Amino acid sequence: MLGALAGGGTVWVKSYTTKTNVLDQHLLLESVLNHSAVKITEDNYSCNGGQLKTVGGVIASLLELNNHQQRNLLSYGCYNLVCTMSISDCKPWQESECSSRFLKFELNKEGKINSDSFTCFDTP
């Protein structure tokens, strides 16, 4: 019982701590927002809803979906020159009936966004 309380308390506290690499994230977000008017091609757009088929429209939908929650479910980051911004309403105990929305894009070798690589997709 004591272990469960200690574990639950640790997870709760850790979920409210701040991250240390804020500068890199700030630069990434600023760079993505500079591309907000870029239209996402029909082949790269598989998101549901009435938002505009632009990078800014998808980011607005991610923020709107996140605003419906009590906690911040928005995540973003890059790995091997592929970056994503996403939100998921999947709870740890759910195996189905949850969904996620992703905005994916690629960086070139100089770390600049390839504006032709923006993709929006939902997962069931």
Q: Is residue 3 part of a domain?
A: no
pLDDT for the residue 23: 46
Residue 85 contacts by C-beta under 8 Å, 6 or more apart in sequence? 32, 59, 62, 74, 75, 76, 102, 103
24 occurs within a structural domain? no
Burial tier of 56 (Cβ tally within 10 Å: 0-12, 13-18, 19+): middle
The answer to the question of residue 46 being in a domain is yes
Q: Tens digit of pLDDT per residue, the chain (124 long)?
A: 888 888 777 776 666 665 555 446 777 888 899 999 999 999 999 988 777 899 999 999 999 888 887 777 888 888 899 999 999 877 767 766 778 899 999 999 988 999 999 999 998 7
| Residue ranges with strand state E in the chain | 45-46, 74-79, 82-88, 100-106, 119-123
Q: Which domain holds residue 67?
A: 37-123
- pLDDT for the residue numbered 18: 57
- pLDDT at residue 15, rounded to an integer: 61
Q: Is residue 7 part of a domain?
A: no
Report the domain count for the chain.
1
Residue 21 in any domain: the answer is no
Nearest to 85 by CA among 112, 58, 67, 111: 58
Domain membership of residue 90 (yes or no) is yes
Q: What is the pTM of this model?
A: 0.76
Residue 89 domain-assigned (yes or no) = yes
Q: How far is CA 56 from CA 20, 26, 31, 95, 109, in A?
A: 26, 16, 12, 31, 24
Token pair, residue 66, equals 């996140």
The answer to the question of residue 28 being in a domain is: no
pLDDT computed for residue 99 by the predictor: 82
